[in-house]
Structure 1
């Protein structure tokens, strides 16, 4: 699926949902806030979220790390419009810059005047991106030397009841969400190609997976 087609699809899916997205997703997008607490950017550092959606996570980062400079990219203009309103409402518009782009091939220098970032994170977005491996590669390219990429997304529910797994995966499919079974291996492969160190683990009995890399 092309970037333009995927952007149109995401706009159609979230044009109405965006207004209640954060209220509903807080009950099952588990592991986001612990990841944010672990970001620990350097003083005055830069943080990029790929697939920033409503801006909820960037606002949480801004509150947790008040001197960080924040950037968010998303393919859905509907979500970016919601994010801009949210950022302005909490008084962070001077610290947050948002841009529209395809997670697989956006140009951060053109969007933000910044090519590399101290922290890059992706929260429950790779499971919605058709070329998710391409998005992972692009995210790694955006990490500055000594910086980190952090990812959290749906796991394979491997230590949860089978009926739960089937019900969840069926429900997610209705929203064009596909948990990536080989996400940990993909992170390791990207890390190996760029000389970075990978890490990963499952959370909540396999409900979610968290991983990332540290760039030399």
Structure 2
């Protein structure tokens, strides 16, 4: 699967809801080795909403955002967190060693990377004692928003075009616990489901247009094909997430992991 084309405006349509899990993740990050001016990496920084939150937590940090989307980095540099340094790079191959990080944060990125558990020992090896890996990923791949999308991708009409556009996925929380433990880190792993109220027409479709649908929208360059797919998918989502009197309830499950380097 080629990298999806990202739309910063669509992603930030639900910026508060998407950033809330990072708020909760950072509450479990202890004092870093070089406070009050630690070196902090935001791997998969997107449009800079996560980078801005890291800046608020560590105002004097040497802060670097890493992302493989030039469009996302343009937004990050202008309206996300303009005081940070940014680098266009793929998280799969990026080596944090040269920056000597105190914190490696990754917000909703690793689900796009096959075999991402293998990154954790490599990242941990670059940390000083007391350094931290903090990550959160979606835990909703078994939810109707994703199962309906998978079934539609593999349906006869769309299989040849879209069958290979599924994200890599995530692991069970205990797998992150074991991986961090094996990487010589003390782990803190948990999961949470946020009951999010979305409003407007087809709000779940608008939500997934910013994330899970990006590979599909990237592949479907013909407007007629794109509209046909979105029409089918929107109908499935309306059945799975019926609108109520105040909006549409969308359960938003997340997996969190913090690892503190021992030593």
TM-score category, normalised to shorter length: 0.7 to 0.9
> Shift of the alpha carbon at 1:209?
1.2
| Alpha-carbon distance change, 198 to 122 in structure 1, aligned in 2, over 3 angstroms | same
Which of 170, 176, 198 is the equivalent residue of 1:180? 170
Distance in 2 separating the partners of 1:107 and 1:178:
21
What SS is found at the alignment partner of 2:17? coil
| Alpha-carbon distance change, 56 to 193 in structure 1, aligned in 2, over 3 angstroms | same
1:147 corresponding residue in structure 2: 131
What runs of 5+ residues in structure 1 fail to find an aligned partner? none
> Shift of the alpha carbon at 1:72?
1.3
Matches within 5 A, 1:3-42: 5=2, 9-10=3-4, 12=5, 14=6, 17-28=7-18, 30-39=20-29, 40-41=31-32, 42=35
Which of 57, 70, 74 is the equivalent residue of 1:81? 74
> Shift of the alpha carbon at 1:98?
1.0
Distance in 2 separating the partners of 1:185 and 1:64:
28
The yes-or-no answer on 1:54 pairing with 2:34 is no
What runs of 5+ residues in structure 2 fail to find an aligned partner? 154-164, 195-251
> Shift of the alpha carbon at 1:171?
4.9
User: Which structure's CA Rg is the greater one?
Assistant: 2
2:145 corresponding residue in structure 1: 167
Tell me if structure 1 keeps the 8 A contact 2:121–2:182. no
- Count residues with an aligned counterpart: 190
Which of 33, 36, 45 is the equivalent residue of 1:43? 36
The yes-or-no answer on 1:107 pairing with 2:98 is no
- Please, which moves more after superposition, 30-39 or 169-178? 169-178
2:199 corresponding residue in structure 1: none
What SS is found at the alignment partner of 1:188? helix
Tell me if structure 1 keeps the 8 A contact 2:188–2:258. yes
2:61 corresponding residue in structure 1: 68
TM-score (norm 2): 0.62
Which string of whole-angstrom CA distances, capped at 9 and with x for unpartnered residues, describes residues 28-86 of structure 1? 56511122344354211111111111111111111232122211111222212221122
Distance in 1 separating the partners of 2:63 and 2:95:
16
Distance in 2 separating the partners of 1:63 and 1:188:
28
1:97 corresponding residue in structure 2: 85
| Alpha-carbon distance change, 21 to 134 in structure 1, aligned in 2, over 3 angstroms | same
Matches within 5 A, 1:196-207: 196-204=185-193, 207=253
Distance in 2 separating the partners of 1:138 and 1:102:
15
Tell me if structure 2 keeps the 8 A contact 1:49–1:58. yes
